[in-house]
Structure 1
Amino acid sequence: MQRTEYPLLSPSLGSQKTLVAFHFGVAGAGPKVYIQASLHAEELPGMLVAHHLRERLEAAERAGHFRGEVILVPAANPIGLSQRLDHRAMGRFEFDTAQNFNRHYPDMAAAVLEAALPIMGNDAGANVDTVRRLVGQWLTQWQPASELESLRRQLLLLSHDADLVLDLHCDTEAVMHLYSEEACWAPFEPLARLLGCRAVLLARESGGGPFDERLSGLWWQLAAALKNAGVTAPLPQACASTTVELRGEADVSHKLARQDAQAIEAFLLHAGVLGGQPTPNLPPMACEPTPLAGSQTLRSPVPGVLVFLARPGDRLSVGDVVAEVIDPTAGSARVHAVRAEVQGVFYAAVRERYIVAGGEVGKIAGPTPFRSGDLLGA
């Protein structure tokens, strides 16, 4: 194992942040997996999972069980970790730009298309190597203009040539679930089984340029662009990426983190990154994948005290009351029922118990697409 510190661009005199990565295995020896935690810096379950996973990976390396390479970044957002306001962590949006730390990553398919057009051949494997080389060169030449851009660049430098990418997040109050692009679902079905995901939300492209989709989207988007340009060279889906939502923000315990680290280690065995022990049997799926475009974001049209009648993990039918919003100042008692408009699993809820008009209440994984455009929240 090698621990490496990567300095970020200094935003001000006397200020310098570093990104820490742990490198396991041998580069090029087999599949490469990139795992990072807490890109939204107030989402802490992933950091603890990374701590326990690191111990397991160190033991596997000592035992000579590595068949590939793993890069583990346990705290992917040192900028957000330093942001606090009124004694509260503020790690989702950068203070300077108000940008979401998990949006606005560069379109690498567009960046390398022109260079790739004349040099793609008939060998699919060679084409993958070519694209990875071009992307690496483009990232190396990119001169970030801010600390935030330097963070994005460094994360992509570490991950752009990975076969599998796991971005560990969490919601406010939630059950285990994951997001991925449709092209990536087959490689990650074992992970969903091992983690016991209660919801799996898939999209061709969710929009907004999130970290994980810029890595997997590179391949199917570039393949489509090459085809549109009349280039018939084969280009497989060389990277599968996913955002894993490790339940809720308060679900930070050694018990859960050890459980999740064990599941990720088992996934690495299934993926051929680790060896030396039998591949564990896969448990049954705890849910069926549903389209992200079928996910209903519940909102309240009125302000008041938010009282949940349903809990994350409950299966709901259309018309079920999920929560009540109570106005205790009204002349006569006013209770507004927030009802499910789709059938499915209530997989995430907000933490606050006072809600403003138009405020978000939670999310239900519905089976039928009904939304379009950017599918992710702020």
Structure 2
Amino acid sequence: MKTETITLAGDVPGNSIELRVLRFEGKDDKAVTAYLQSSLHGSELPGQAALHFLIPMLEKAEREGRLAGNITVVPQANPIASAQWLAHEHLGRFDYFSSVNFNRSFPLLEGFDTSGLPGVDAPKSLAERLKAQLLRLALPHEIVLDLHCDDESESYVYIHQAFLPEMYDLASALGSTAILSWSSTADAAFEEACAHPVIQLSKEERNVNRRAVTTVEFRGIADVGVETGRSDALGLYRFLVHRGVITDAAVKLDIDFKGPVTPLENVEMIRAPQGGMILFHVEIGAEVKEGDKLVTVVTIPGDAGGDIVLTAPQAGRILTRRSHRYTRRGDDLLKLLGSKRSETARPGSLEA
């Protein structure tokens, strides 16, 4: 393993960030290569825990000559977000300066040539230069895994429709309960920026048996631990072996994904009509019928007349819930996977 430290100067004198890049060298120039990153939102740590346990496994494979393809790992992909704290609370989702989600507004390139992206010392904001550097690291690889998590959630993955059903192997390896499929989010998340050049190719040129680009949601933000980290690392390892990046005769993958594959427009985003206390009636993974109670928003504590009960607009599966219990008007409260288009479907990402 070779460690590279990329330093990006801050936007004012006296400030900088360091991007730690781990490179594992494969023995076969024709083998599939992989890029894995985590913590683009700073405090989303289940993916970082997975990489913490995966890295020694990759080192061992490299020492034993079992690494076929090159692997690049960036365990802490966003030092800007990692450093954003306010009043003892970590706030890593949005850039303090621009208020833009760190996983939005990546450059969408028509091809794989990254020479036109801003350099580390370009006259651009630090966030823009960081996004350019992450793309520069990722795009040379055929497999790109961006590891995230939700608030309270089952494990699931976002996958562009062009990579399905070939990427059922990833969902199987990780034990994902659902796939959210998309064709265009229009918000230029990292996944979309990495998939975009591939989608410009003809179907024959894409070679999706070798390529895999996804956002992995490793359960909820508090699901960080030794056992989950090791289990997720093993899932990533199984996938890399299955795709031929690593050689390991002891590892076999059964492709047995049987969860729902839900287009983004079929996801019901249940939102708070008013602010107040959140009382959930359903657990993660619950199957609900149309009209079932999902959540009560208490707007006047002690007066049931102020309660607002939100019900399921269609039958489906509860995929995520918010981790906070006090909400503002318009906040997202949970995701319900439906079998038909949501009446409130809108272009773009599900969440801000």
Corresponding residue of 1:311 = 283
Shift of 1:281: 3.2
The answer for unaligned runs of 5 or more in structure 1 is 110-130, 225-233
Shift of 1:315: 1.4
The normalised TM-score by structure 2 is 0.92
Give 3-state SS (helix, strand or coil) of 2:44's partner: coil
Shift of 1:140: 6.9
Matched, 1:22 2:22: yes
Corresponding residue of 1:374 = 348
User: 2:128, 2:327 → 1: CA distance?
Assistant: 34
User: 1:39, 1:144 → 2: CA distance?
Assistant: 22
User: Highest Rg: 1 or 2?
Assistant: 1
Q: Say whether the 8 Å CA contact 1:9–1:146 is kept in structure 2.
A: no
User: 2:180, 2:90 → 1: CA distance?
Assistant: 27
Aligned residue type for 1:306: I
Q: Say whether the 8 Å CA contact 2:159–2:180 is kept in structure 1.
A: yes
Aligned residue type for 1:194: A
Corresponding residue of 1:358 = 330
Corresponding residue of 1:183 = 162
Identity %: 31
Q: Say whether the 8 Å CA contact 2:6–2:19 is kept in structure 1.
A: yes
**CA RMSD of superposed structures (Å):** 2.0
Q: Say whether the 8 Å CA contact 2:40–2:77 is kept in structure 1.
A: yes
Change (3 A) 1:282 1:101: same
Q: How does 1:54-69 map to 2 (within 5 A)?
A: 54-69=55-70
User: 2:328, 2:253 → 1: CA distance?
Assistant: 47
Corresponding residue of 1:128 = none
Q: Say whether the 8 Å CA contact 2:242–2:253 is kept in structure 1.
A: no
Residues 241-297 of structure 1, C-alpha deviations (whole Å, 9 max, x = no match): 100001001000010010000011000011000113244131522412111111110
Shift of 1:23: 0.6
Q: Say whether the 8 Å CA contact 1:196–1:286 is kept in structure 2.
A: no
User: 2:11, 2:256 → 1: CA distance?
Assistant: 49
User: 2:194, 2:126 → 1: CA distance?
Assistant: 21
Match for 2:147 among 156, 168, 171?
168
Corresponding residue of 1:336 = 308
Change (3 A) 1:222 1:107: farther
Matched, 1:83 2:84: yes
Q: Give the helix-richer structure, 1 or 2.
A: 1
Q: Say whether the 8 Å CA contact 2:26–2:62 is kept in structure 1.
A: no
Shift of 1:331: 5.3
Match for 2:206 among 226, 229, 236?
236
Shift of 1:136: 3.0
User: 2:350, 2:294 → 1: CA distance?
Assistant: 21
Q: Say whether the 8 Å CA contact 1:107–1:214 is kept in structure 2.
A: yes
Match for 1:136 among 102, 114, 117?
114
Number of matched residues?
Answer: 346
Aligned residue type for 2:164: W
Aligned residue type for 1:21: V
Change (3 A) 1:81 1:364: same
Q: How does 1:1-378 map to 2 (within 5 A)?
A: 1-26=1-26, 28-109=29-110, 131-132=111-112, 135-139=113-117, 143=122, 145-221=124-200, 223=202, 235-236=205-206, 239-282=211-254, 284-329=256-301, 333-370=305-342, 371-378=345-352
Residues 319-375 of structure 1, C-alpha deviations (whole Å, 9 max, x = no match): 111111223447554332111112222111111111222222110112223424213
Change (3 A) 1:189 1:377: same
User: 2:139, 2:303 → 1: CA distance?
Assistant: 59
Q: Say whether the 8 Å CA contact 2:118–2:124 is kept in structure 1.
A: no
The answer for unaligned runs of 5 or more in structure 2 is none
